[in-house]
């Protein structure tokens, strides 16, 4: 039974919801912006969902809850959306139909789940699970950001130190080293040439760096380049496992939640097509929905895809055969969440000593390039 958006107001159609989701540039729904250009982050979304859930659980009517949220809301974009949603609900439309008109904030997965909760009479439970899903996504994002921040700082700091030494220190020794230029180590000659280039031609260096940054940005806007990068994410050893776990965790969590609340499988798959930004994975989801539509079953689509690990194929097959597909998908998503946290923590711990070693090697090379010629000069004087 498909979700229906008709004059009787029973909820949005999955096709319309998917079209609305495509207009939101296929970004994950916790990273989308709201009307007016004001960014809507996961924290604001969680706060909105949590406050609505609290009001509904205390017996407040849906329209009154929306009006109270509007009065309390300070974010201009969210306030505008709440105004429109409240007016639509007051006119007798279901909440899911009102949310569907704002795909920049409420994507198809969110709308479909709210629609299922309305029809089944368990909207608060759905909101609670949507809140938990958003919290898990935010924790994953924070974990990845934390793991990358320290190595990024070390890289920037190392580059700053190297530039300072080349521009501020090496020129002071240039005249001294000129006497033994032919006897200088290769590293000293290379660093002196680099120092002269940075000092004498810095406008051209900045221009070249700007051109490189602009060219890279232009390349990253080309569909064929993005296609290649998406393929590399799921093809390179090491990266492949991490991205597989991220994509499958996000997708299977939403699918499991949707199926557990009565959303038809085809509709849930259609709403999840744009959940992941990777083009290769999107094609897999599109093919999966087409196979299910043709009656070949979900497990068959998972078995045929090289993007899916063997464990997931086996568990999906078991879940489909036993009729516990929603539970199995949720379990896989939870397992991958734990694996991702463990893997990211391990990478973070390994990245710190590796970066320190690289930075130490660079500093040691620079120091040696300065000290060795000084020793040679000292021996020449004596």
The CATH label, of 1.10.10.10, 1.10.357.10, 1.20.81.30, 2.60.120.10, for the domain at 14-121 is 1.20.81.30
Residue 39, classed as helix, strand or coil, is strand
Q: Tell me the per-residue pLDDT of 248-284, one tens digit each, with 9 for 90 and over.
A: 988 898 888 888 888 888 888 887 777 777 888 988 9
- What is the pLDDT, as a whole number, of residue 234? 86
Give the start-end residues of each E strand in 266-365. Answer: none
pLDDT tier at 329, thresholds 50, 70, 90? very high
Residue 302, classed as helix, strand or coil, is helix
Q: Which residue has the tokens 């397992």?
A: 335
- What is the pLDDT, as a whole number, of residue 211? 92
- What is the pLDDT, as a whole number, of residue 269? 86
pTM, to two decimals? 0.67
**Taking a C-beta distance cutoff of 8 angstroms, is the pair 40, 49 a contact?**
no
Q: Tell me the per-residue pLDDT of 222-250, one tens digit each, with 9 for 90 and over.
A: 888 888 988 888 888 878 888 888 889 88
State the burial class of residue 342 (Cβ atoms within 10 Å of its Cβ: 0-12, 13-18, 19+): exposed
Domain boundaries, the chain: 14-121
CA distance 17 to 40: 20
| The residue count for the chain | 382
- What is the pLDDT, as a whole number, of residue 19? 40
Q: Tell me the per-residue pLDDT of 333-346, one tens digit each, with 9 for 90 and over.
A: 889 988 888 888 88
Average pLDDT, the chain: 79
């Amino acid at each position: 039974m498909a979700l229906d958006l008709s004059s009787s107001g029973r909820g949005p159609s999955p096709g319309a919801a998917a079209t609305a989701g495509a207009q939101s540039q296929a970004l994950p729904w916790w990273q989308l912006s709201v009307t007016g250009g004001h960014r809507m982050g996961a924290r604001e979304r969680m706060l909105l969902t949590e406050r609505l859930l609290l009001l509904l659980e205390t017996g407040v009517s849906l329209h009154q809850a929306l009006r109270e949220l509007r009065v309390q809301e300070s974010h201009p974009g969210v306030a505008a959306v709440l105004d429109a949603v409240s007016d639509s609900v007051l006119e007798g439309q279901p909440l899911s139909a009102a949310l569907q008109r704002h795909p920049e904030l409420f994507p198809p997965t969110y709308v479909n789940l709210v629609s299922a909760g309305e029809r089944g009479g368990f909207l608060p439970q759905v909101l609670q699970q949507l809140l938990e899903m958003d919290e898990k996504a935010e924790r994953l994002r924070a974990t990845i950001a934390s793991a990358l921040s320290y190595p990024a700082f070390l890289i920037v700091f190392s580059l700053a130190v190297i530039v300072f030494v080349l521009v501020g220190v090496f020129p002071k020794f240039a005249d001294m080293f000129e006497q033994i230029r032919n006897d200088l180590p290769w590293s000293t000659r290379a660093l002196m040439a680099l120092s002269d280039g940075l000092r004498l031609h810095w406008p051209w260096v900045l221009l070249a760096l700007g051109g490189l940054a602009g060219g890279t940005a232009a390349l990253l806007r080309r569909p064929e380049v993005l296609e290649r990068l998406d393929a590399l994410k799921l093809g390179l050893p090491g990266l492949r496992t991490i991205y597989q776990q991220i994509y499958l965790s996000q997708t299977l969590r939403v699918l499991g939640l949707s199926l557990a609340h009565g959303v038809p499988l085809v509709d849930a798959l259609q709403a999840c097509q744009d959940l992941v930004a990777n083009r290769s994975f999107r094609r897999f989801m599109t093919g999966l929905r087409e196979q299910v539509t043709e009656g070949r079953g979900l497990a068959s689509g998972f078995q045929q895809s090289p993007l899916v690990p063997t464990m997931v194929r086996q568990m999906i097959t078991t879940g489909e055969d036993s009729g516990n597909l929603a539970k199995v998908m949720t379990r896989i998503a939870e397992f991958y969440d734990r694996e991702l946290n463990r893997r990211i923590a391990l990478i973070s711990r390994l990245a710190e000593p590796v970066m320190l070693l690289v930075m130490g090697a660079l500093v040691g090379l620079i120091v040696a390039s300065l000290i060795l010629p000084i020793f040679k000069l000292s021996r020449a004087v004596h």
